[in-house]
Amino acid sequence: MASKSAKKYVYFFGAGKADGKSEMKNLLGGKGANLAEMTNLGIPVPAGFTITTEVCTLYYKNNRKYPKELAGQVEAAVTRVERIMGKKFGDPENPLLVSVRSGARSSMPGMMETVLNVGLTTKTIPGLIKKTNNERFVYDAYRRLMMMYSDVVMEKAAGIEPEEGHGIRHKLEHAMEAVKKRKGFKSDTDLTVSDLKLLCEEFKEIIKQTLNKAFPDDPKEQLWGGIGAVFQSWMGKRAVSYRKIEKIPEDWGTAVNVQSMVFGNTGNTSATGVAFTRNPATGENVFFGEWLPNAQGEDVVAGIRTPNPVNKAGKTADTRHLPSLEEDMPTLYKELYAIQKKLEKHYHDMQDIEFTIEDGRLWMLQTRIGKRNGQAAIRMAVEMASEKLIAKETALLRVKPEQLDELLHPSVDPVAEKLAVELAKGLPAGPGGAIGKVVFTADDAEAWAKRGEKVILVRNETSPEDVHGMHAAEAILTAKGGMTSHAALVARGWGKCCIVGCSALEISVKQKEIHVNGHVVKEGDWITLNGTKGRVYEGQLNLLPADPEHNPWYKQLMKWADQKRTIHVRTNADTPNDSIIARNFGAEGIGLCRTEHMFFGPDRIKAVREMILSDTLEGRKKALAKLLPFQKADFIGIFKAMAGLPVTIRLLDPPLHEFLPHTDNELRELASDMQVPFDRLNAKNKSLHEFNPMLGHRGCRLGVTYPEIYEMQAQAIMEAASELARQKIKVVPEIMIPLVGHVNELVAMKKVVIETAERVKKEYKVKVAYTVGTMIELPRACMTSDVIAEVADFYSFGTNDLTQTVYGLSRDDAGRFLPFYVENGILKDDPFITIDQEGVGAFMKIAVEKGRKVKKNLKLGICGEHGGEPKSVEFCHNLGLDYVSCSPFRVPIARFAAAQAAIKGTAKKKK
C-alpha cells in the first residue's frame, strides 16, 4: 500500500463509491471525472481507476519516467477492483480483464484508441473459457486484444509510421479477411472456434515478423504497455495536429482510465452501444443512438459493422428493417432510457454515453458532453433554456460563435438535386451542402487545399491520423461507419458536411478511384454532397446560400444575444447590395464604406486615371467632375439601404498607383483619350510607383497634397445626403479621414470637408447633421490621441494597418512565414486574425484612455478585419468601444460574440 503522505496519482471508482467527482476534470480528464460522477450517482459502472493528468506532465518532464509512487498505487487499485468484481488479474482460474483508455480533459479524436481485454494470456484463456462456458467468445476476445494492442501499443506508441495499407492492423485484418473469403463467410461472427484459434496463432507470427517483437503473454506487461501508450499518444503526430486545430494547450496532459471489462459479445443477451440524450445532428429532444447485439464497443465506433438504431424513433428508410434495442430488449431499454434522462438532468447538457449489456445486465461505460454541429447546438441551447434546464445566459455561452457560421453555410439546390445523377447514399452525419474534388488521403486533402482547391476527403473509414486532412476538406465521405463513428464525431464538432456508412462505395486508395453503382469516380473528379440527406451526386451542383432567418431557434437565440450585448455591431460595406445583406443579418450601421472600391468600375476607372495622371489642378478637377455623379449615386444607394442608420465613409486611402494601367496597351489607350503623348504619360506613371506603398503616399497624405480629391468626395457625400433630406429620408453620414499620424493632417482635412459640406447644405437649403472623424491606425496617432481627440468627432481603429505598423510587418508578405510562427508557438495567434492584445491592444488602450480623457463621450469603433473575430470582439467590449464593424456574413457572429463578452464581463464583476 502507498503511504498516506504520498502524492495521490490514482483515483478509484466502483461499487457506488469514487475518490473523484465531475469537477475534477482537469486532474482526472473528462472520462475519468465522469466515470467517478456516474459511480457516485448510483449508476452501474464497472469498477476501475484513473491515473491523473499530472502523471502525464511528470512523465514528459522526467525524461519519460513515471513518479516512483505510481507502481504501488496502481497495484493497490487493481487489488480493490479485484475485490469488487470477484476476479483476479492474471489468475488462471478466474481472470479479471481490463480496458485501457485515454482521457484528456476535453474529448480529443487525436488520442489513443481503446485497448480492450487486457489480461488475456495463454495462462488465463483456459480459466475464462471454463468460467464463461463460451470458447468462441474467449478466442474472439483474444484476437481483438492482439489487433488493438499490436496496432496501438506496439506500433503507434512506438512511433512506427508504416505506409498506408502496410500497418500491423491492416495486415491482421487482411489475414482475417482471407480466412473469411476462403470459407465463404460474410461476417466476423461466422468464424468458428477453430478458425479463431488458428487465426490467433497466425496473428502472433505476423506481429513478430512485422514488429520484430513477440506479443506479450504477461498481464502486467500488457497493462503497463497500455498505460505507457496513452501517455506516448499525447505527443503523437495526430494528437499534436488536433491540439493545434482546436487550440488545446500542450501542458493539459491526458489521464489513463483502467476499467474492468464487461462483455457485449458473450451471446444473444449481450450487446453494446453508443447513444446521445438528444439528436446531435438536428438538436431534436429525442433519445438517439446505435447498438449492436453480441458485439464489443469498438465495433460500433470503428464502423466495422453498420449498427442498428437504439429505438424506433431513430429508424430511417435505410435502417427500418433493423431491430432496435427498444424492440429486442424492452426492459433494458427502459433502464437505459431512465439513466440517460438522469444524466442529462444532472449535467444540464446533452450527453454522449457508451453502454454494454453483459448477459442481460446493463453497464454504463462512459458519459461525456456530446459533440454537436451548429444547428443542433443552437436548437439544444434554446430548448434547454425554454425547459428551464439551463439559464438563458448559459444557453448563450454554450453555442460557439463559429457554430452560428454553420447556419450561414450553403445547401444543395433541390431543383438541381432532382436532375442530378445520384451516385450513392449514406448516413447524414453533418448537414449542409458541399462540392469538391475527390481525394483519397488526408495528406492529399491538406496539400490540395493549401493550393486553393476545394476537396472532399473520401475514405473507407477515418481514424485520428486523418484529422489534418479532414480539417482541410470541404466535406468528408466514408464507406463504413455509423452516426457515432470517428468521421461523424469529428465532422460534427467542426460543423463539416459529412456522409458516413456509404456502403455502395468500393474505394481503391492505390488506384485512386471509386467504383459505385456502375460509375467510376477518379481522384480530382467533382462530386457534391448533401450532408442533410446523406446523398452523393456526380459533378458540381448549385449550392443555395443559407437562410438562418427561417430557423426559429436561431432567431430566438439572436434575440437573447441582442438583449444581452452592450456593444453595437456595424458592417463593412461598399455597395447597396452588401448593405442590405448586412442589415438583414442585424447590422446597426456601416462602420467602413471604402470609397476606392467605387473607383474600379469600368465606367469610372478612366476618369480616375485621368485625374491621377493630370499635371494641372484644372485637369484633375475636370476628371473629378466626371467622377462626382458616380460617387453621389453610390452614396444615395447606400444611404437608402441603411435607412437612417449611421454610415461611416472613409475618404480615398490606397496609393494612386493601384488605379493605374498595368500594360503599355492600356496606357496607350489612355494617352489617346487624354490627348497627351504616350511617353509623357508613361514617365508620369513610373514616377508614381513607390518602394513601400503601404507606408507611402496614401490616406490623408493624398488629401493634403491633392485636397481637390477629398473635396469632390465630401461634395458627393453631402449632395447625396441633402437630396435624401429633401425627400424626408433620414441620413447619418460620418466622414472619416484615413491614416492620420499628426493632428495637423486632420485639422487640414477636416477644414476641407466642413467648408465643402457647409457650401452644399447652403445650396440645397437643408439641415444635415454630419461628423468628421479619423481612423486610428498608426502608433503615433495612438500616442497623441489626446491631441487628435480635440479635433476628431469619432475614432475608428483600423486594426489591419495598426497591426502592420506596430509589428513592422506587411500583411501581404506575412503569409509566407506567419503560419510557421503560429505552428511553432512563437505567436499564439495570427495577429491579422485575432487582435494581439499585448502589443496592438496596448496601443489601442492608450488611444482610448487619452482620447476619452479629453472627450468623455468620444465615439469609438473598430473597422479592421478583427471586428468579426470573437476573441477580438470580447477585447473591444472590455476596452469600452461603442461598436465593432465586420463583413456582412460575420455580423451575426459579432453580435453573438458581443453578447458572450457582456455575460463573461458580468460574471467577472460578480466574482
Mean pLDDT to the nearest integer, 402-431: 85
Q: What is the pLDDT of residue 660?
A: 80
pLDDT interval class at 110 (50, 70, 90): low
Residue whose grid cell is 488475456: 120
Q: How far is residue 687's CA from residue 683's CA, in Å, rounded to a whole number? A: 6
State the alpha helices, DSSP H only, in 565-705. Answer: 576-584, 605-613, 617-642, 664-674, 678-687, 700-705
Total H helices, total E strands in the chain: 36, 34
Tens digits of per-residue pLDDT, 45-76?
999 999 999 999 999 999 999 999 999 999 99
Q: Is the pLDDT of residue 1 over 60?
A: no
Sequence-ordered list of residues with C-beta below 8 angstroms from that of 355, at least 6 positions apart, any chain: 272, 273, 274, 275, 336, 362, 363, 364, 365
Of the candidates 593, 863, 876, 886, the residue annotated as catalytic is 863
C-alpha cell of residue 292: 449492436
Residues 277 and 223 in one domain: no
pLDDT interval class at 304 (50, 70, 90): low
C-alpha cell of residue 330: 424492452
pLDDT interval class at 782 (50, 70, 90): very high
CA 248 and chain centroid, separation: 12
Q: What is the pLDDT of residue 113?
A: 80
Q: How far is residue 226's CA from residue 258's CA, in Å, rounded to a whole number? A: 9
pLDDT interval class at 189 (50, 70, 90): confident
Residues 255 and 278 in one domain: no
Q: What is the pLDDT of residue 748?
A: 98
How many Cα atoms occupy the beta-carbon half-sphere of 206 within 13 Å? 23
Active site annotation includes 170: no
673 in any annotated domain? no
Find the domain containing 501 and state its range.
409-545
pLDDT interval class at 890 (50, 70, 90): confident
- Which of 325-330's residues contact partners 24+ apart within 8 Å by CB, and which partners? 325/271, 325/273, 325/291, 328/293, 329/269, 329/271, 329/357
Residue 163 DSSP label: P
Tens digits of per-residue pLDDT, 587-597?
999 999 998 87
Q: What is the pLDDT of residue 303?
A: 64
SS3 track for 26-70: HHHHHHHHHHHHHHHCCCCCCCEEEECHHHHHHHHHCCCCCCCCH
Mean pLDDT to the nearest integer, 798-807: 95
Residues 142 and 32 in one domain: yes
Share of the chain above pLDDT 90, in %: 71
Q: What is the CATH number of the domain that holds 169?
A: 3.30.1490.20
pLDDT interval class at 825 (50, 70, 90): confident
560 in any annotated domain? no
Which of the residue ranges 50-59, 443-452, 609-618, 661-670 would you say has the lowest mean pLDDT? Answer: 661-670
The residue count of the chain comes to: 911
Residues 276 and 226 in one domain: no
Tens digits of per-residue pLDDT, 650-669?
999 988 888 888 788 888 98
Domain count, the chain: 4
CA distances from 789 to 106, 410, 805, 869 (A): 47, 44, 21, 27
Residue ending a domain, choose from 260, 281, 301: 260
Residues 462 and 594 in one domain: no
Q: What is the pLDDT of residue 910?
A: 64
Residues 528 and 570 in one domain: no
Q: Is the pLDDT of residue 177 over 80?
A: yes
Q: Is the pLDDT of residue 3 over 80?
A: no
56 in any annotated domain? yes
- Residue 496: closest CA among 527, 514, 473, 463: 473
Q: What end-to-end distance do the CA atoms of the chain give, in Å?
A: 42
Mean pLDDT, the chain, integer: 92
CA 415 and chain centroid, separation: 30
Q: What is the pLDDT of residue 484?
A: 61
Strand order in the sheet with 351-358: 308-309, 288-293, 271-276, 351-358, 361-369
Q: What is the CATH number of the domain that holds 592?
A: 3.20.20.60
Residues 234 and 121 in one domain: yes
Residue 101 DSSP label: E
Q: What is the CATH number of the domain that holds 423?
A: 3.50.30.10
559 in any annotated domain? no
pLDDT interval class at 464 (50, 70, 90): confident
Active site annotation includes 863: yes
703 in any annotated domain? yes
208 in any annotated domain? yes
Q: How far is residue 384's CA from residue 136's CA, in Å, rounded to a whole number? A: 46
Residues 734 and 870 in one domain: yes
151 in any annotated domain? yes
Mean pLDDT to the nearest integer, 729-742: 97
Residue ending a domain, choose from 517, 545, 573: 545
Tens digits of per-residue pLDDT, 528-585?
999 988 999 999 999 988 778 789 999 999 999 999 999 999 999 988 988 998 999 9
238 in any annotated domain? yes
Q: Is the pLDDT of residue 709 over 90?
A: yes
Q: Is the pLDDT of residue 684 over 90?
A: no
Which amino acid, residue 854?
V
Residues 126 and 256 in one domain: yes
Tens digits of per-residue pLDDT, 364-384?
998 889 999 888 999 999 999
Q: How far is residue 226's CA from residue 114's CA, in Å, rounded to a whole number? A: 9
Residues 473 and 610 in one domain: no
Residues 865 and 723 in one domain: yes
Residues 767 and 639 in one domain: yes
Share of the chain above pLDDT 70, in %: 98
pLDDT interval class at 422 (50, 70, 90): very high
- Residue 650: closest CA among 586, 580, 698, 601: 698
Of the candidates 486, 568, 657, 866, the residue annotated as catalytic is 486
Q: Is the pLDDT of residue 642 over 70?
A: yes
pLDDT interval class at 683 (50, 70, 90): confident
Tens digits of per-residue pLDDT, 494-507?
778 999 989 899 99
Q: What is the pLDDT of residue 4?
A: 55
Q: What is the pLDDT of residue 493?
A: 64
